[in-house]
Amino acid sequence: MEDVVSESVVSLRGVRAELGSRPVLRGIDLTVRRGEVVALLGANGSGKSTAVRSVIGQVAVSAGEIEIFGVPRRRFRDWHRVGYVPQRTTAAGGVPATVTEIVASGRLSRARFGMLRKADHAAVRRALELVGMADRAKDSVNALSGGQHQRVLIARALACEPELLIMDEPMAGVDLASQEVLAATLRDQVAQGTSVLLVLHELGPLEPLIDRAVVLRDGCVLHDGPPPQAVGQHALPGHDHVHPHAAHDAEPLRTGLLS
């Protein structure tokens, strides 16, 4: 593995993917370098979720190359270096589970044969403290609010102490208080050198953290550079894009919680 400053932790070159017969990614190039925070923006259906899901191997790629930490994705095995937050509004399954039980499953990538040692339990506790959920550790996730579910999902990703965080819309359905907590958590992680690739509908409270924005439209990269500046009312703190407005400069269009 090369050890240069601009070493890439995620790299997609000419990636194409189809869902059914519909092309969703039509030749995407995307690089996240060490220590960088890259936001993937775009309207619904632009392919941003598919792009991150192709990185983790959840979506089959029909052409192009994907590398994680310089290793082709198919041969990549060091999953403990990657923390993933899937697009969810709930951390609950069909059976009750405590916050700790959910977060501990994020530690499995470092646990041998699924045995959690003292150090692993300590890491789980630290992850819960990072998202401010340590006091709810023994509670059932069913008793949590939407924002707290998201905090649990992020703690689960942080439990393996990853060098790279991949997050798919971590702010969807999250109340303002939790958004602030999540932004602070992410700021700490970035300060410690964690690289981040995250899918966002809008920059929101994470805006100051973001080094680069990649905007997708119809499965193609439309913009790759500094984050687009929000103007007017959209720039106000706490503004939530719940009203439909014209897609301008590939500004994400959000019509409601169902989107």
According to DSSP, the β-strands at 82-85 and 164-168 are parallel
**Residue 45 or 64 with smaller CB distance to another protein:** 45
Q: Report the residue from 143, 235, 242, 247 that binds another protein according to the rule CB under 8 A.
A: 143
Determine if 116 is a binding residue for another protein (CB under 8 A): yes
Determine if 62 is a binding residue for another protein (CB under 8 A): no
Helix locations, the chain, DSSP H: 48-55, 99-104, 118-130, 146-158, 176-191
Determine if 45 is a binding residue for another protein (CB under 8 A): yes
Q: Tell me how many residues contact another protein (CB under 8 A).
A: 60
CB of 108 to another protein, least distance (A): 5
Determine if 90 is a binding residue for another protein (CB under 8 A): yes
**Dist. CA 230–CA 136, nearest whole Å:** 36
Determine if 101 is a binding residue for another protein (CB under 8 A): yes
Q: Report the residue from 8, 31, 46, 195 that binds another protein according to the rule CB under 8 A.
A: 46
Closest CA to 150 of 119, 186, 115, 120: 186
**Dist. CA 9–CA 197, nearest whole Å:** 10
SS3 79: helix
Closest CA to 29 of 7, 44, 51: 51
Determine if 77 is a binding residue for another protein (CB under 8 A): yes
Which part of the chain contacts another protein (CB under 8 A), choosing from 31-39, 54-62, 225-233, 239-247? 54-62
Determine if 50 is a binding residue for another protein (CB under 8 A): yes
Q: Report the residue from 30, 104, 190, 213 that binds another protein according to the rule CB under 8 A.
A: 104
Determine if 79 is a binding residue for another protein (CB under 8 A): yes
Determine if 89 is a binding residue for another protein (CB under 8 A): yes
Residues with Cβ within 8 Å of 97's Cβ and at least 6 positions away in sequence, in order, are: 140, 141
Burial label for 56, CB within 10 Å (0-12, 13-18, 19+), is middle
Residue with the two structure tokens 């798919």: 168
Determine if 218 is a binding residue for another protein (CB under 8 A): no
Chain-centroid distance, C-alpha 197: 6
Determine if 175 is a binding residue for another protein (CB under 8 A): yes
**Residue 142 or 192 with smaller CB distance to another protein:** 142
Q: What residue type is assigned to position 179 of the chain?
A: Q
In sequence order, the β-bridge partners of residue 236 are: none
What residue ranges bind another protein (CB under 8 A)?
Answer: 19, 24, 44-50, 53, 56-58, 77, 79-80, 82-84, 86-91, 93-98, 101-102, 104-106, 108-109, 111, 114, 116, 138-140, 142-143, 145-147, 156, 160, 166, 169, 173, 175-178, 257-258
